[in-house]
Structure 1
Amino acid sequence: MKILVSLVSLIAFLLVVLPGPLYKYGVVDLGLAFTGFRYGVYVGGAALVLLLVQLIFMRKT
């Protein structure tokens, strides 16, 4: 479960950080950059939910 949360968090981070430089250097257009940013926020929310599930259900009693 920790690997899944880490992977989703990494993907969200990259989706939020990379569109700016990619647009600046002309690799993607503005619409695609904003779409990547939007989905990065969604994936970040999913990572937060997975982290909360891990904290609630996977804790040691």
Structure 2
Amino acid sequence: MEETLDLLDTLLDGASEPRLKLISTDEARALIVLLGLLEEGDHGQDVRRAAGDMRFRLGSRLA
């Protein structure tokens, strides 16, 4: 699971504005909701922290 979170984190860090436009605003909002569920769920602290961090960073890029 740790490797998956690291990969997602790296992908999000490397995503430039043009790449973010590959997903629609609606799709990005859906990802934010799914990350929110991971953040609030009964998962390990590392998963919740990573989901919250990715959710915040994705949301700030959409703003």
Please classify the TM superposition score into its range, dividing by the shorter chain length: 0.5 to 0.7
Spell out, residue by residue over 1:10-34, the C-alpha distance to the aligned partner (whole angstroms, 9 max, x if none): 111221233212x2xxxx3111111
1:36 aligned residue: 51
Q: Which runs of 4+ in 1 moved over 4 A?
A: none
Which amino acid is the alignment partner of residue 44 of structure 1? Answer: G
Which has the greater radius of gyration?
Answer: 1
From 25, 28, 31, give the equivalent of 1:8.
28
**For residues 44 and 20 of structure 1, what CA distance do their matches in structure 2 show?**
17
RCO comparison, higher one (Cα < 8 Å, 6+)? 1
Q: Which runs of 5+ in 2 are unaligned?
A: 1-20
TM-score (norm 2): 0.52
In the alignment, which residue of structure 1 is the partner of 2:40?
Answer: 20
- Superposed CA RMSD: 2.0
Matched with 2:11 is: none
Distance 2:46 2:38 in 1: 14
Calculate the TM-score normalised by the size of structure 1: 0.53
Count of aligned pairs: 42
Q: Unaligned regions of 5+ residues in structure 1, if any?
A: 49-61
